[in-house]
Chains A and B, each alone.
Chain A
Amino acid sequence: MIIRGDEPEQIRLIKKLYKPGNYFMQGNEAVAYGAIFAGCRFYAGYPITPSSEIAETMARELPKLGGYYLQMEDEIGSIAAMVGASWTGLKVMTATAGPGFSLMQENLGYAVMTETPLVLVDVQRSGPSTGQATKGAQGDFFQARWGTHGDHPIIALSPTSGQDAFWEIIRAFNIAERLRTPVVMLFDGVLAHTRELVKIPDVEEVEITYRKLPQNEEEARLPFGDPHGDGVPPMPLFGHGYFTHVTGSTHKENGLRDVYTPEVHDRLVRRLHRKIEQNRHVYEKYEEYFTDDAEILVVSWGVTARPALGAVLKAREEGIKAGLFVPKTVHPFPGERMRALGKKVRAVLVPEMNLGQMILEVQRYVNDDVLLKGVNKIGGVPLTVNEILREIRGVA
């Protein structure tokens, strides 16, 4: 059994096609190249601004590597095709934006329930509905977390630059493979279309993870068991004679449907949660700046973390003890670290390009005696350093 994209031939192709060095490119292109380095060899999607350059880059590059680009009839079909392809041993990705992300939610839930590795990039744009179709936003924080139905865990990452996106998409694939689960990357229209310096590494410097495959017939017969105690069942790929049955309905360890026994549902859904919870070390990630002695903490994510850092640096120049906390994996939220930081500060500011979403997560972890304030801007234009600095001064 093979996970395609890891053969020596692929290393040779990547080396030949993508010389290490500095490139000037869009965030969307950085995502596509990162995915290729991560071993993605199947892309199914449906065009939508501001994500389309990811599809265009994949359509151009994947055939060179023997990979597949499929433009499906809609987003529902796109994620469905990805699930099918993932069960054949391909690393799969799609990219979309708000309305397309909404359409993908049903089968995102299916991927959670069937433990199918896939990577879904949501290039957030201004909503609700078709909103400002071409403008960036950070309004899908909770769509990533709660967009699909039922009790389900989800992992979502959010990079802060094109360079960061290159590495974070690789991390997204590694997490998806390691934990046999879908991973969402919350990108945004601003970074997607910003051209900046991206350093492409030597492919051999990139650490790649592949999904766990069954070691013997017995493991293959339990595609939804937990033989290793880490909550992650080995994945018996289609086409190898294991006669695997996969269903989005509640199933037993052997894959067969059982929707009548409460214990079966309880056992399955709790394991899906436990798998994500007990493997925090695999995906938890955040960045901190000047948090040691900070009295005012700025908590920000994605595109907004950049002006937020600018504002913190300026505040420091003015003698204000400001610090910055940037969750890079935004779901599950790095709550423990947030709680620890929240204990040391007087005020917490949460700038985001929405009317207040991540602030609700932050609120769960800070005490009432801390001043908590959102810095919110909508309309498609990112927050500036001065807009955030003004708020820092206001609570200093």
Chain B
Amino acid sequence: MAKEIYSRYPMVKYLRKEALPTALCPGCGGGTVLNAFANAVDQLRIDPKDLVVVSGIGCSAWIASPYFLADTLHTTHGRAIAFATGVKVGLPDKKVVVISGDGDLASIGGNHLIHAARRNIDITVILVNNMIYGMTGGQVAPTTPFGAKTTTTPYRNIEHPLQISETVAAAGASYVARWTTAHVYQLIESIKKALQVKGFSLVEVVSQCPVQFGRRNRMKEPAEMLRWFLKNSVPISKAKKMSPEELEDKFVIGEFVNRERPEFVSELNKLIDEVQEHFGLKGEDDGV
């Protein structure tokens, strides 16, 4: 039965079949993200041989590694972007993509995230924000909504969630967009843009974890979570006219920035050229 589904699914050619079925729970938003990413790659006609996908640790980290059929690097918790930085410097002509969770990339990995944005290194980050630590059993995350219940905030969360897209945009990224798993087509378009931008790009996907988040917050069914996303999403243009209080439990969606800035790896290679030129190290063998 499972085999038939895989053979009918047109994106299956991008998946590592020996790793299927995925370990994600039924109804997890991770499946939507994998699907959106595969569709973006397909629509752009990117050869998976030109892709290196890096992830950290968490449910969302598994979306692409091992399931996506490319060179995949499954790293330590929080460090995916730093590993990807080394990959991109070594392979400047490849598309280097990081797919991982909000806990992974924005909590333990928050420092790497803002510095990669500052450096503006040409990496695409797809950050799956399920507002919870799914893999470790539903503990509070830096993205958990104020007042939400988790296994480590059994009474209610008294911390305010980190606005990841705003932070990364302020840090200097070339492209930042946020969508939810209820906005699949917009999500695919943004992933496509992010993959084509030369510079650091972030696509934040607000995603459902019915098992660890929804269950404890009166949304047992995946569809209930999707309805919650739709009801509370505010386009960025509208959000600009709203007060912080009004925005407290809303999901601001859309493109945050899309701009050109000097990119790190090309600047690095330009510098190398200049230095070699300056010291007369380029060109013909001068018989030394």
Known interface pairs A245-B66, A256-B66; A84-B87 also in contact (CB < 8 Å): yes
Cross-interface CB contact of B281 among A16, A84, A245, cutoff 8 Å: A16
A348 is an interface residue with CB less than 8 A from chain B: no
Residues from chain A with a CB closer than 8 A to the CB of B66 are 245, 247, 256-257
User: What's the minimum C-beta distance from B105 to chain A, rounded to whole angstroms?
Assistant: 13
Residues from chain B with a CB closer than 8 A to the CB of A80 are 75-76, 79, 82-83, 85-86, 112
Q: Given the complex of chains A and B, what is the CA–CA distance between A84 and B80 in angstroms? A: 9
A83/B86 in contact, CB under 8 A = yes
Interface residues on chain B, size class: 35 or more
Per-residue CB contact flags for chain A residues 343-362 toward chain B (1 = under 8 Å, else 0) read: 00000000000000000000
B86/A88 in contact, CB under 8 A = yes
Residues from chain A with a CB closer than 8 A to the CB of B38 are none
Cross-interface CB contact of A64 among B71, B74, B83, B275, cutoff 8 Å: B275
User: What's the minimum C-beta distance from A43 to chain B, rounded to whole angstroms?
Assistant: 11
Q: Given the complex of chains A and B, what is the CA–CA distance between A44 and B94 in angstroms? A: 20
Closest 5 CB pairs of A and B: A88-B90, A84-B86, A85-B86, A81-B86, A80-B82
A42/B89 in contact, CB under 8 A = yes
A247/B65 in contact, CB under 8 A = yes
Cross-interface CB contact of B85 among A16, A64, A72, cutoff 8 Å: A72
Instruction: Find the A residue at minimum CB distance from B94.
Output: A239
Q: Given the complex of chains A and B, what is the CA–CA distance between A88 and B94 in angstroms? A: 11
User: What's the minimum C-beta distance from B33 to chain A, rounded to whole angstroms?
Assistant: 19
A83/B83 in contact, CB under 8 A = yes
Which residues 267-283 in B have Cβ within 8 Å of A in the complex? 268, 271-272, 275-276, 279, 281
User: What's the minimum C-beta distance from B259 to chain A, rounded to whole angstroms?
Assistant: 22
Q: Given the complex of chains A and B, what is the CA–CA distance between A110 and B65 in angstroms? A: 16
B69 is an interface residue with CB less than 8 A from chain A: yes
Question: 14 other contacts beyond A67-B272, A84-B54, with CB at 8 A cut-off?
Answer: A15-B288, A42-B90, A63-B271, A68-B89, A68-B268, A72-B82, A77-B111, A80-B76, A80-B83, A80-B85, A84-B88, A84-B90, A238-B73, A243-B48
Per-residue CB contact flags for chain A residues 245-267 toward chain B (1 = under 8 Å, else 0) read: 11111000010110000000000
B18 is an interface residue with CB less than 8 A from chain A: yes
Which residues 136-182 in B have Cβ within 8 Å of A in the complex? none
Known interface pairs A85-B90, A256-B19; A245-B272 also in contact (CB < 8 Å): no
A282 is an interface residue with CB less than 8 A from chain B: no
Which residues 101-122 in A have Cβ within 8 Å of B in the complex? 106-107, 110
Q: Given the complex of chains A and B, what is the CA–CA distance between A67 and B19 in angstroms? A: 37
Instruction: Find the B residue at minimum CB distance from A73.
Output: B115
Instruction: Find the B residue at minimum CB distance from A72.
Output: B82
Instruction: Find the A residue at minimum CB distance from B84.
Output: A84
Which residues 183-234 in A have Cβ within 8 Å of B in the complex? none
Residues from chain A with a CB closer than 8 A to the CB of B271 are 63
Per-residue CB contact flags for chain B residues 246-276 toward chain A (1 = under 8 Å, else 0) read: 0000000000000000000000100110011
Residues from chain A with a CB closer than 8 A to the CB of B48 are 243
Known interface pairs A17-B281, A76-B79, A87-B73; A239-B89 also in contact (CB < 8 Å): no
Instruction: Find the A residue at minimum CB distance from B108.
Output: A76
User: What's the minimum C-beta distance from A39 to chain B, rounded to whole angstroms?
Assistant: 14
Cross-interface CB contact of B71 among A42, A73, A238, cutoff 8 Å: A238
Q: Given the complex of chains A and B, what is the CA–CA distance between A82 and B89 in angstroms? A: 10
User: What's the minimum C-beta distance from B215 to chain A, rounded to whole angstroms?
Assistant: 25
Instruction: Find the B residue at minimum CB distance from A15.
Output: B288
Residues from chain B with a CB closer than 8 A to the CB of A110 are 75-76
Residues from chain A with a CB closer than 8 A to the CB of B285 are 12
Known interface pairs A77-B85, A84-B87, A87-B73; A243-B281 also in contact (CB < 8 Å): no
